[in-house]
Amino acid sequence: MAQANTPAPARKLPGSLDTNRRLDRWLSINPDGTVTLVTGKVEIGQGILTALIQMTAEELDIDVSRIRLKPASTAFSPDEGITSGSRSIQESGLALRHAAAEARDLLLARAAQKLGVTLESLTVKDGVISARGGGSATYWELATPDLLAREASFDVSAKLPQEHVVVGTSLERIDIPDKISGKPSFVQDMKLPGTLHGRVCRPLGPKATLQAIDVKEVEQMPGVVAVVRDGSFLGVVAEREEQAIRAERRLARLAQWTLGPALPANDPRQLLTLQAEAETEVISSKGNPDTGGAKQLSAEYTKPYIAHASLAPSCAVAQWEGGKVRIWTHSQGIYPLRGDMAQVLGLPEDHIIITHAEGAGCYGHNAADDVTLDAVLLARAVPGRPVRVQWMREDEFGWEPFSSPMVMKLNASLDDQGNIVNWGHELWSHAHSTRPGGRGGVNLLAAWHLEKPLPAAKPGNPPLPGGGSHRNAIPLYDFPNQKVTNHLIRRSPLRTSALRALGGFANAFAIECFMDELAEAAGADPVEFRLRHLKDGRAKAVIERVAQMAAWKPKEKGDGERGRGIGFARYKNLAAYIAVIAEVKIEEEVRLTKLWGAVDVGQAINPDGVINQIEGGMIQSASMALKERIDFDRATVTTRTWDDYPILRFTEVPEIEVALINRPEAPPVGAGEGTQGPVAAAIGNAIHNALGARLRDMPFTRDRIVAALSA
């Protein structure tokens, strides 16, 4: 009887439709035979727009060529927060799938009424509704503006997977033709009439303040229209781009800065010295974490600060007119950005119109939002004129938010059968989320340098199950006893934020290397050892598949030069399953010769798009594991150019083979981030397989191999 008093749980609509319920926020069906699709998610090179078009066309039964996309804008788009975490298919895709299915239902009902027939007698082909006994009507004549002027209903049935004809096919990306033809494709390419160019002269170090500068000389340089100084924010606007660059260089020579407190040594283990300010939380506890066994092992792994290192330095355009500002940005979250911007400018949100324009791949929270405030502040000095600001390469490396360094200490016990009976994982990290939209402050670089600075919001750490620093820290393996502890140190010497997979990169790396260390101690084959500790059938399937692709031989041995290793994770423990085998050859340095990957993302909306994302993720992760580290001295970041921050080049990238285990019946999940940990671990394990030396600190540089071999 008690149940009768419990209120039924509120019903939720799929994805972002739940928070943006009006159908006409998402779709409009136009008299000219087109359908306009509006999404709050943005293209960052991952091909999301093509996938969303497929999901919408599928439910509407129209040709994909009829769909038009509007760039996301705070003027009209659904608020879908941030495009991140490989969630766009689940959030925007499922919303559009449902909205389109309902639109089709509404159109069919109108057609039935108009033609005086039953719903059952109707079929749709590319927007033409035909009745069995003759008679037809088109979407384009039936869809009056009131059709979708309503909230979505709960009782709508989208198609069954076996009915799909567009979803599940590898439709070519809609944006590639323009991008390979040199057409204006990026915010960097925008040219509004009368555009001026701006550049910002950044402080000498993260906490440095501007002591003095005489800007007269710069104001008289050719082309200079305005020099803007507000506290320690210093910038210039000029007629021509190269003039702005020259003027900024002159400003840099003239400015006198006072350095802030010295930065600590560049060592991830610095985190361990900050234990006093750590927020410590046991995030998983099972059985008795003090259980012993026949063998005990422990190991410590680290990852340094790394950069997004987008190929395009960040860029934005802003134009003030009558106390309002229009902004074009490649930000991943136009609404959160608008909120922060309103606080900085002291303007109501509706005076700020932010429209998304594509940038290059960003792989997380880079400087996209920061450059937007730069453009707005510089444009304020020249009302009416659009100002385009693109950061210089040295600004992008020096000032983007980095992925946090991390330390992972793992320990485990093996019983006399060689099974893991106890597992421990402790991790130390700074925050992985300092995007705009935080609480208690503003997360925009220039806002902290103003005469009246705004405080930064409290660095965030997304909660479990997805998690931030603790993403993928809880093993998917089935151990009888375990304890996982997260030590979060929010304050960081250098700004940290979201980069592909957040803490999942380092946690999965550590878990998967440690699994190999344990397998060796147990005298077991790494593939068999993983399978025996897993219950999840889909997890086992990707591991078995990749082993089959690579013709893995149980307990195969490296030859002192060549070796192979495996890595596995289920992204966030709730999304894509990915298993990877890496083959390395150790020459002067580690040469990655081949990567195999097996992937299960549930229903693959666009299989080739998924494979493209997986291949790209594999190469990027390999690059990070093998080469990447941000360097700094006591004053500032010293990594400033691609020479300082090498990434994998054409002569270094491995051969890649990826297999997709398609499960049309399973919900679709994102593909962008899941490869990060498994690839790094597979390479670490391959190096060990080749040399017998274990590298536990990324990146796996030549010096570290030499050190590991002589240890």
Binding site for another protein (CB under 8 A): 44-47, 170, 172-173, 175-177, 179-186, 188-189, 191, 222, 240-242, 309-313, 358-361, 363, 390, 392-393, 608-609, 612-613, 615-620, 623, 641-643, 647-651, 653, 655-656
Q: What's the distance, CA 196 to chain centroid?
A: 31
Closer to another protein by CB, 63 or 189: give it.
189
* Strand blocks (E) in 100-232: 122-125, 128-131, 136-138, 196-201, 209-212, 224-230
Q: Is 571 exposed, middle or buried (0-12, 13-18, 19+ CB in 10 A)?
A: buried
Q: How far is the CB of 491 from another protein (least distance, A)?
A: 29
Q: How far is the CB of 106 from another protein (least distance, A)?
A: 35
Q: Which residues, 6 or more positions from 437, have their beta carbon under 8 angstroms from its beta carbon?
A: 81, 82, 333, 335, 336, 337, 339, 340, 443
- Nearest-10 crossing angle of helices 94-115, 48-60: 30
Closer to another protein by CB, 105 or 657: give it.
657
Q: How far is the CB of 311 from another protein (least distance, A)?
A: 5
- Rounded CA-CA distance 628/616 in Å is 16
Closer to another protein by CB, 508 or 614: give it.
614
- Rounded CA-CA distance 369/371 in Å is 6
Q: Are 381 and 338 in contact (CB under 8 A)?
A: no
Closer to another protein by CB, 25 or 356: give it.
356
Q: How far is the CB of 443 from another protein (least distance, A)?
A: 23
Q: How far is the CB of 241 from another protein (least distance, A)?
A: 5
Q: Which two tokens stand for residue 578?
A: 């990915």
Closer to another protein by CB, 379 or 407: give it.
379
- Rounded CA-CA distance 619/203 in Å is 34
Closer to another protein by CB, 311 or 574: give it.
311
Q: How far is the CB of 323 from another protein (least distance, A)?
A: 29
Q: Are 679 and 628 in contact (CB under 8 A)?
A: no
Q: How far is the CB of 352 from another protein (least distance, A)?
A: 26
Amino acid identity of residue 565, one-letter, is: G
Q: How far is the CB of 393 from another protein (least distance, A)?
A: 4
Closer to another protein by CB, 169 or 343: give it.
169
What is the three-class DSSP state of 219?
helix
The DSSP output letter for 443 is -
Question: 413 vs 213, 380, 480, 646, CA distance in Å?
Answer: 62, 63, 11, 39
Sort strands 128-131 and 136-138 into parallel, antiparallel or unpaired: antiparallel
- Rounded CA-CA distance 389/446 in Å is 13
Closer to another protein by CB, 185 or 485: give it.
185
- Rounded CA-CA distance 73/79 in Å is 9
Q: How far is the CB of 653 from another protein (least distance, A)?
A: 4
Closer to another protein by CB, 187 or 414: give it.
187
The DSSP output letter for 231 is T
Closer to another protein by CB, 126 or 241: give it.
241
Q: Quick one: which of 398, 415, 426, 377 has its CA closest to 314?
A: 398
Q: Phi first, then psi: what are they for 658, rounded to 5°?
A: -125, 135
Q: How far is the CB of 34 from another protein (least distance, A)?
A: 23
Amino acid identity of residue 659, one-letter, is: A
Closer to another protein by CB, 372 or 689: give it.
372
Q: Which two tokens stand for residue 357?
A: 């324009």
Q: How far is the CB of 610 from another protein (least distance, A)?
A: 12
